A and B are shown apart, each in its own frame.
Chain A
Amino acid sequence: GIQVEQSPPDLILQEGANSTLRCNFSDSVNNLQWFHQNPWGQLINLFYIPSGTKQNGRLSATTVATERYSLLYISSSQTTDSGVYFCAVRGWRDDKIIFGKGTRLHILP
């Protein structure tokens, strides 16, 4: 099946800093999503981005499908951005959505 690798595994930043999270995947996909899991365990949909670039406020994402990677950018970090960010993909061969191991982000005040 498809392999999903996220980097870095952990990231500690001061409030106001910018960050880039990366997701590499091993095969072509028809779905790529970024999620934020808050401290209560809820998964928040950030982006549905199988290709191209999207922006939503301080967050943006780019997926280069031909090179099999996606980037999530967080600008002007706030403490509420802390949590785990997951990349998840779905390949063309079945309906399953596979998750990477996540990037744990700590924003210090």
Chain B
Amino acid sequence: SAVISQKPSRDICQRGTSLTIQCQVDSQVTMMFWYRQQPGQSLTLIATANQGSEATYESGFVIDKFPISRPNLTFSTLTVSNMSPEDSSIYLCSVQLRGSGTEAFFGQGTRLTVV
């Protein structure tokens, strides 16, 4: 497996502000994804982070609200913009690693509360 470092681990933010979440991996990465887990719910895919190009967003998620960058193979950021209380969730970075096929590994998540 690998060490997947996600920062911050938690934050409390004011509505209307933005938060950027970082994901750093210490191994070679083939695919990188961002998920959202709303309270008491399952994980929902936000987007696939593509190296050096625009992310591929799932239905219901837009770039203006969730801009994603992936400047290199092992690092990505997710920004939650213009936050409202409905954005309170756990946000998770997920990767597939070279040599591990399609197995997915997850960071420890960022627990976001918007007040």
Specify which chain B residues have a CB less than 8 angstroms from the CB of A52 in the assembled complex. none
Specify which chain B residues have a CB less than 8 angstroms from the CB of A41 in the assembled complex. 37, 90, 108-109, 111
* Complex CA–CA separation, A29 to B72 (angstroms): 29
* Complex CA–CA separation, A97 to B44 (angstroms): 9
Interface residues of B, count at CB 8 A: 24
Distance to closest chain A CB from B83 (angstroms): 19
> Does A96 count as interface, using CB distance less than 8 angstroms?
yes
Interface residues of A, count at CB 8 A: 21
> Does A69 count as interface, using CB distance less than 8 angstroms?
no
Contact of A42 among B43, B44, B109 (CB under 8 A): B109
Q: A45 near B42 (CB under 8 angstroms)?
A: no
Interface string of B24-52 (1 = CB under 8 A from A): 00000001010001000111110010000
> Does B75 count as interface, using CB distance less than 8 angstroms?
no
Chain B residues within CB distance 8 Å of chain A: 1, 31, 33, 37, 41-45, 48, 58, 90, 92, 94, 96, 101-106, 108-109, 111
Distance to closest chain B CB from A5 (angstroms): 11
* Complex CA–CA separation, A43 to B91 (angstroms): 12
Q: A86 near B43 (CB under 8 angstroms)?
A: yes
* Complex CA–CA separation, A35 to B94 (angstroms): 13
In chain A, positions 26-48 with a C-beta closer than 8 Å to chain B are 30-31, 33, 35, 40-43, 45, 48
Contact of A99 among B42, B96, B105 (CB under 8 A): B42
> Does A100 count as interface, using CB distance less than 8 angstroms?
yes
- Interface of chain A: mostly helix, strand, loop or mixed: strand
Q: A45 near B105 (CB under 8 angstroms)?
A: yes
Give 16 new A-B contacts, CB below 8 A, not counting A31-B104, A90-B102, A90-B104. A33-B103, A41-B109, A41-B111, A43-B92, A45-B105, A48-B103, A88-B43, A88-B104, A95-B48, A96-B45, A97-B33, A97-B45, A97-B104, A99-B43, A100-B42, A101-B42
Smallest CB gap from B110: residue in A: A41
* Complex CA–CA separation, A68 to B8 (angstroms): 38
Interface string of A43-78 (1 = CB under 8 A from B): 101001000000000000000000000000000000
